[in-house]
């Protein structure tokens, strides 16, 4: 039995062992195989089911005349050799047009027959052979590297200072983009702006979204009607309900004016996807944010009970659709403002690695996700038990069956507003670490269709004229960075981690050219905090570092700071000195953090904490109206110009 189960797991792409970051070989077993196969949709409940599923999979593989997907170049004739006999060969183009490909003199083409595929435009097309489908990913072989440039990253939520209060919104972002574009920045970077959980006042992490193809509504600008709260930190439980009430008032006024024909046309164009999302949001208002806790009949987006609810609540559906329209209109206005200022990229958005297992995305499009498992990370020095991120992964087999369209649409949604896109944890394009959530079985890696997913990225980036950055930090699988380079994706390089040996930092000329470099990111200390070992202090205060390890950690950081200073000439600790170094690195793009420019000490997010650290709650010390004339901002822009990065 174990042999059949392991063979099935192997065919499904499930690792039975792996090396962790400490060099320890970790092995799994039947419990892990069973849990992950079940999450993929394979029937493995009994020995007989395992044998039957394995036999069926073998038979499917043997009868396929062509692989599940092929990667082709645009407008180029291609050949495909049949690996099994086939009769009817039908080409279904991306626009829906179909044609039957020329067949040979015999009604059945034998294995080994060479079939000529016509030149096809960029996109996702399908070949159907006797009912078996092959995805044709027609993608440019390589994306061009961008010219040298620079930008600034900032926290959208923190764009209001304490005196203004409230929560940063898309109107604030438009002001910030305009100001930073005028001083020469070619992009402004944000954390994800995916749709969240408005009815859970404490669910404000941008990396645990409800739906990645819809937008966060808590950042919709309301002008003078915006709610304010002048606490030192953002008080989400106070501000989110007040914002929601103001949105409802604004919607009432919108309807009283007779609505808008543009909104009606937009709703029509968005179709069933928007309808399902809005229905989910309306149900959440009544039953709570997470569909796992709803009545069973409401957990299926296509059930009669859900259809009845939708028909009985048209105003609620329209309200939540209007919120998405407002968010899209306002974010589009930000992109337009960037274009007016001549910014090459405008917004630099971030695509979260996964989606919440019980949010709108899994409810409305659940077939492409793997239930009962979470994305995570294997054990390492910081997390001896590994990490569970509470994020649902794409099921690679379902993704392939759907011709990779869910991935394409997810990317396309981001690129509607941004010409620079970061894919969080791009390591998941090679292999994803799945952790069973309904058993105690250990997690392991699952093989992902890397080349197909990279082809989809190239398709969407080429269409949008966008540059894509993959966050390739941590335990990077062999071959992934080479594959990214072949595709023209940029990597991420954080200066604080560019240490071939402890406290020996990489010189600027040795940085990866095809990369975006920055000193840090949202998950690590800012420049001033790093120098002061503020993160080390906080971990000691919270009990993550005991009294014995604390002095060693401080010594380790002091040696890092000294090593960086020796290389970069940053002994004075100023952000200007740091930015001169960042501007000098070989990487094509560099990002400065607004927090570093403004001298902020505390970091945005401390990984591994939820309530013990004020993650995603800190406001910036300078208002958006001052950014364009702020002395530190102007100095940073001048340094970038002197480094040759200003276009």
Residues 169, 220: contact at Cβ < 8 Å?
Answer: yes
37, 501, 620 from 571: Cα distances, Å: 54, 20, 25
- Using alpha carbons only, give the angle 553, 555, 561 rounded to the nearest 5 degrees: 105
* DSSP labels, 39-82: HHT---SSHHHHHHHHHHHHHHHHH-SS-SEEEE-TT--EEEE-
Give the H/E segment covering residue 375.
Answer: strand 373-377
Q: Where are the alpha helices (DSSP H) in 76-234?
A: 170-182
Please write the tens of the pLDDT for every residue from 440-459: 999 999 999 999 999 999 99
Q: What pLDDT score does 131 carry?
A: 81
Q: Is 41 left (phi over 0), alpha (psi -120 to 50) or beta?
A: left
Return the CATH fold of 149-642. TIM Barrel (3.20.20)
Which of 194, 198, 189, 190 lies closest to 208 in space, CA to CA? 194
Residue 209: the pLDDT is 97
- What is the rounded CA–CA span in Å between residue 475 and residue 453? 20
In eight-state DSSP terms, residue 495 is G
616 contacts 157 by C-beta, under 8 angstroms: yes
Q: How far apart are CA 134 and CA 401, in angstroms?
A: 9
Distance between CA atoms of residues 414 and 551, nearest Å: 44
Q: Which residues contact 521 (CB under 8 A, 6 or more apart)?
A: 492, 494
Return the DSSP state at 645: -
Residue appearing with tokens 């009815």 = 199
Residue among 150, 162, 302 nearest 232 (CA)? 162
Quote the tokens at residue 133.
Answer: 């489908």
pTM score, whole prediction = 0.96
Q: What is the pLDDT of residue 100?
A: 87
Residues 6+ apart with CB under 8 A from 635: 576
DSSP 337-361: HHHHTT-SSEEEEEE-S-B-TTSHH
- Write down the pLDDT at residue 67: 95
Q: What does the pLDDT read at residue 86?
A: 87
Any residues with CB less than 8 A from the CB of 299 and at least 6 apart, and which? Answer: 291, 292, 363
Instruction: Give the β-pairing of 431-436 and 418-423.
Output: unpaired
Rounded Cα distance between 67 and 133, Å, is 9
For the segment 326-354, what is each residue's pLDDT rounded down to a tens digit? Answer: 999 999 999 999 999 999 999 999 999 99
372: region left, alpha or beta (phi > 0 left; psi from -120 to 50 alpha): left
What's residue 102's pLDDT? Answer: 74
User: Which of 558, 519, 534, 525 lies closest to 636, judged by CA?
Assistant: 519
Residue 147: strand pairing partners: none
What DSSP assignment string belongs to 448-493?
--HHHHHHHHHHHHHHHT-EEEE---SSPPTTHHHHHHHHT-BEEE
Beta-strand runs (E) in 451-607: 467-470, 491-494, 515-518, 589-593
Helix (H), strand (E) at residue 98: strand 98-100
Select the CATH number that applies to the domain covering 69-138 from these four: 2.60.40, 1.10.10, 2.30.30, 3.40.1350: 2.60.40
Is the C-alpha dihedral spanning 192, 352, 531, 579 positive or negative?
negative
Q: With a cut of 50, which residues of the chain have pLDDT below it?
A: 1
Q: Are 34 and 44 in contact (CB under 8 A)?
A: yes
Rg (CA), the chain: 26
Q: Yes or no: say if 54 and 71 are a contact pair by the CB < 8 Å rule.
A: no
- Give the CA distances from residue 585 to residues 65, 146, 191, 291, in Å, rounded to whole numbers and listed in that order: 49, 15, 24, 47
CA–CA separation, 262 vs 266, rounded Å?
6
Phi, psi for 336 (deg, rounded to 5): -65, -40
Rounded CA separation 368/426 (Å): 18
What pLDDT score was predicted for residue 113? Answer: 87
Which H/E stretch holds residue 187? strand 187-189
pLDDT (0 to 100) of residue 104 = 61
CB 174 within 8 A of CB 159: no
For the chain, domain boundaries: 2-63, 69-138, 149-642
- For residue 325 the two structure tokens come to 């329209």
Largest CA distance in the chain: 81
Residue 358: count other Cβ atoms within 10 Å of its Cβ.
21
Q: Which segments of 122-174 are extended strands (E)?
A: 123-129, 132-138, 149-153
């Amino acid at each position: 039995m174990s042999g059949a189960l392991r063979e099935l797991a192997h065919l499904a792409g499930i690792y039975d062992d792996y090396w962790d970051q400490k060099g320890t070989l970790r092995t799994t077993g039947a419990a892990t195989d069973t849990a992950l196969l079940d999450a993929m949709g394979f029937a493995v409940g009994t020995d007989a089911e395992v044998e039957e599923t394995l036999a069926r999979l073998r038979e499917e593989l043997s009868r396929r005349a062509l692989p599940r997907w092929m990667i082709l170049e645009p407008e180029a004739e291609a050949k495909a050799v049949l690996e099994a006999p086939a009769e009817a060969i039908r080409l279904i183009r991306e626009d829906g047009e179909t044609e039957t490909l020329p067949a040979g003199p015999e009604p059945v083409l034998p294995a080994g027959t060479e079939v000529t595929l016509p030149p096809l435009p960029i996109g996702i097309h399908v070949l159907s052979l006797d009912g078996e489908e092959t995805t044709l990913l027609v993608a440019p072989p390589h994306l061009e590297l961008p010219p040298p440039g620079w930008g600034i990253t900032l926290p959208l939520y923190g764009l209001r200072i304490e005196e203004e209060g409230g929560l940063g919104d898309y109107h604030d972002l438009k002001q910030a983009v305009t100001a930073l574009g005028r001083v020469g920045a070619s992009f402004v970077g944000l954390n994800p702006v995916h749709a969240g959980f408005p009815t859970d006042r404490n669910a404000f992490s941008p990396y645990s979204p409800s739906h990645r193809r819809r937008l966060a509504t808590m950042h919709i600008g309301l002008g003078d009607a915006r709610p304010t709260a002048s606490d030192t930190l953002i008080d989400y439980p106070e501000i989110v309900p007040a914002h929601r009430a103001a949105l409802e008032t604004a919607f009432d006024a919108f309807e009283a004016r007779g609505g808008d024909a543009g909104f009606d046309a937009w709703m029509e164009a968005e179709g069933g996807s928007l309808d399902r999302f809005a229905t989910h949001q309306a149900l959440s208002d009544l039953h709570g944010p997470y569909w796992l806790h709803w009545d069973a009949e409401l957990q299926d987006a296509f059930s009669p009970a859900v259809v009845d609810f939708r028909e009985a609540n048209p105003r609620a559906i329209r309200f939540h659709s209007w919120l998405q329209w407002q968010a899209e209109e306002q974010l589009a206005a930000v992109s337009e403002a960037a274009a007016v200022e001549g910014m090459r990229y405008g917004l630099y958005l971030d695509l979260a690695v996964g989606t919440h297992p019980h949010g709108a995305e899994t409810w409305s499009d659940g077939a492409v996700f793997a239930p009962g498992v979470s994305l995570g990370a294997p054990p390492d020095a910081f997390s001896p038990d590994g990490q569970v991120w509470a994020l649902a992964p794409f099921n690679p087999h379902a993704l392939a069956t759907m011709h990779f369209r869910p991935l394409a649409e997810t990317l396309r949604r981001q690129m509607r507003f941004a010409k620079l896109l970061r894919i969080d944890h791009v390591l998941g394009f090679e292999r994803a670490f799945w952790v069973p959530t309904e058993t105690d079985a250990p997690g392991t890696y699952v093989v992902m269709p890397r080349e197909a997913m990279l082809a989809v990225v190239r398709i969407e980036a080429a269409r949008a004229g966008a540059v894509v950055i993959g966050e390739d930090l941590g335990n990077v699988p062999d071959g992934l960075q080479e594959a990214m380079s072949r595709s023209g994706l940029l990597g991420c390089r954080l200066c604080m981690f560019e240490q071939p040996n402890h406290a020996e930092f990489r010189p600027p000329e040795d940085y990866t050219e095809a990369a975006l470099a920055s000193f840090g990111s949202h998950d690590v200390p800012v420049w001033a905090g790093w120098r002061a070992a503020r993160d080390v202090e906080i971990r000691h205060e919270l009990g993550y570092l005991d009294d014995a390890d604390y002095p060693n950690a401080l010594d380790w950081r002091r040696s890092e700071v000294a090593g960086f200073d020796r290389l970069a000439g940053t002994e004075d600790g100023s952000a200007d000195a740091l930015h001169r170094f960042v501007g000098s690195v070989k990487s094509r793009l560099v990002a400065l953090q607004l927090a570093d420019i403004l001298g902020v000490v505390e970091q945005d997010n401390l990984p591994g904490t939820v309530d013990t650290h004020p993650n995603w709650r800190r406001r910036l010390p300078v208002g958006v109206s001052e950014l364009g004339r702020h002395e530190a901002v102007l100095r940073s822009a001048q340094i970038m110009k002197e480094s040759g990065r200003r276009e």
